Structure formats: structure tokens, C-alpha cells
Structure 1
């Protein structure tokens, strides 16, 4: 389902602190730390792909005040398509074990918008952390159902 993922960095203690400050303390300006590397990686690996940020639940959006994946997608040299919505509010991934993330299939995302914007196109999911890939694989499903030619992912960290 997910053709591939490219992560900018390995998830280490330093990056964990940086991403936590970005996500949970609302320091949106930290997204700009990744701008040059995001752009370079996009151009090298995904040129022409349409970015799609992983959506947050309404609860998380109200909690944080911003969608960290959308802010990252804004750093790319092309416009993103917010064509996914989160329809099921799962427990926070950061609070689940690896087994819990992989266990059971919940369909937390649905497609919204014009299918012509996705059909026969390479769609690029954008998120901050790739741990098991569960979230990204689940997000790929509605895009593929709408006729996406391919779905890949670009994440800041893999850990």
C-alpha cells in the first residue's frame, strides 16, 4: 500500500526533544529548522508528488492549536492537498506500545474532496515520525481507493 518512506533523520534523544517542543509546546517556528532538508529530499526523491499532511483529530487540533504535519507540508516547494480527514480518534501513538500500534485495524482516515485531484497521481504523505508505519499505511488506503497511482511518505524522523 505504501510504496516507500523517506525519513530525514533517525529518531534520537536530541530529535525527540526537538519534536516534543515543536508538537507539544507549540513552538511552530521549529518547523523551519527542517525546511532546507525537506525541500532537498522532496526534490531528490518525490518531485511531482502531491503532499498530503496526516490530519489530526479535532481534539488534538484544539489541544495543540496547529497540525504539525500541515506545517511541515507548508515548507515544501509545492502546495499540499488536505484531502484526508481523521474520522476515528485513536489513542495517541506516542502512548501506545509498538504491538498496540500494529494490533487491530481501525480505519481512522477518509477522503474528502475531488477524486480527480488524486486519480493517477503520486501522493506523498507528510508526518513527523515514522515508528511502525501503521498511521501512514492506514492513511494510504483512502488515497489508493480514490485512484492514486502511488502513495509514499516523507517524515522528519524514523525511530
Structure 2
């Protein structure tokens, strides 16, 4: 049983109640203070990317779709490429620092904080194969692991490595237009296994949606029937 918070290392407090005795025990990974800083996406959200619409100016919303997704879906090249992205938490300052420590400082164990939630949430999807967004060989060597792969593994799910990345530049340093123009980001490793399959892409953050859509487009060109995605943050 984990006894300290994965993030701040404070000793965890366990309250034994009738509920905890009668129900299956769930491992606790974060203290109350750290857990309280993870803000779940609730209320009205974009039906395409999970963005919280209640926190946006009305001019940036078209019915139940945010303006970014409206632009994607009005572009014939990208319309319907990614059916839907589901994100769990808002990308606030705490989660930004949490994921930075997880990815860039090699703190692999931080992935466990999301393991139970990912495991349960994935059950609500109808899919055939879960595919992590890959890193370039250079980036994976630097970090020691792929964060999307770690999220799947810690959730006890099978990770299917059906994509490879063709370049080593950091997508986070590019503008939205630069990401879109960079068409050839991924390639498939086994096209025959994708025929008529429903794919669930896994990544840590949905930012502009470019990376996930480029991956989805590559998978669909290889024969995938449908592509959805699941991320920790939006």
C-alpha cells in the first residue's frame, strides 16, 4: 500500500469507513491537498475536444463546439478525422507542473495517480486497439520512456505500438499553423492490423489537437474505421 503522496511526499491519511470496508479498496496516490488541485472537466464541454465551454467567451463557442474544433470540422481535409477527444482534467498550473515533472524530469511513477481513473474510463469506450502517441527515438532516449505508453501501462491496459514518429522537433514549440502544415509526422508500423479497427489514441495533453489529428489521419489512411482519443489534460 502506498503511504506517501507521489507528488509532495507527504504522509497519506487513510480514513477507514464502512464504505472502505465494504467496497473494494482503491490505492491512494496523492494527498488531499495535491488531489484537490486537479480540476475535473465538468459541466458543458465541447463535444469534440472536451474543452470547458462555460469558461469561454460566447464568441468562441458555436452551439456545443468550441471555435477551434469548429475550424477543424470546417476544413474538408480534417473533418471527421478524429471523432472525439475526451480529457479528464483542466490544464491548470498545478497539472502543468505535475506533467512537466512526469515527462521532462523522468518521474515515471507520477503516471500512477491516473491509473485507476484511466482504467475505469476506458471501459466506457468501444474500441479495438489502444495506441499511444509515440515519441521520436531521440526524445524517448532523452526522457527514458514515452509518457503516453506509461499512462496505458500503469492503467493495466495493453499498449499497441502501431505508430512511429518521423521527426524529432518538439511540437510544443510550434504554432498551430506550423503543426498543421507539418503533414508527415507519423507512419504506421503494421497497416494490416488496422483494417476496420476502432482506435483509441492515448496522450497526456490535448493542446491544439494537431498531433492527435495527424495521428488519427495516418491511422485512417492505413484502414482504421474510427479514431477517438483520451488525454489526461485539456
TM-score, normalised with respect to structure 2:
0.62
Pair 1:74 & 2:153 matched: yes
Aligned to 2:208: 132
Q: Tell me which of the two structures has the higher relative contact order, counting C-alpha pairs closer than 8 angstroms and 6 or more residues apart.
A: 1
Aligned to 1:147: 223
Q: Is the partner of 1:156 in helix, strand or coil?
A: strand
Ranges in structure 2 where 5+ consecutive residues have no aligned partner: 1-80
Between structures 1 and 2, the one with greater strand share: 1
Cα deviation, residue 56, structure 1:
0.4
Ranges in structure 1 where 5+ consecutive residues have no aligned partner: none
Distance 1:138 1:114, change over 3 A: closer
Aligned to 1:94: 172
Aligned to 2:13: none
Aligned to 1:26: 106
Match of 1:42 among 96, 108, 122: 122
Q: Is the partner of 1:35 in helix, strand or coil?
A: helix
Distance in 1 (CA, whole Å) between partners of 2:95 and 2:137 is 26
Cα deviation, residue 80, structure 1:
1.9
Match of 1:111 among 188, 192, 215: 188
Larger Rg: 2
In 2, are the aligned partners of 1:38 and 1:75 still within 8 Å (CA)? Answer: no
Cα deviation, residue 121, structure 1:
1.3
The number of equivalent residue pairs is 154
Q: Is the partner of 2:123 in helix, strand or coil?
A: helix
Pair 1:16 & 2:100 matched: no
Cα deviation, residue 47, structure 1:
3.9
Aligned to 1:6: 86
Distance 1:2 1:65, change over 3 A: same
Distance in 1 (CA, whole Å) between partners of 2:132 and 2:228 is 12
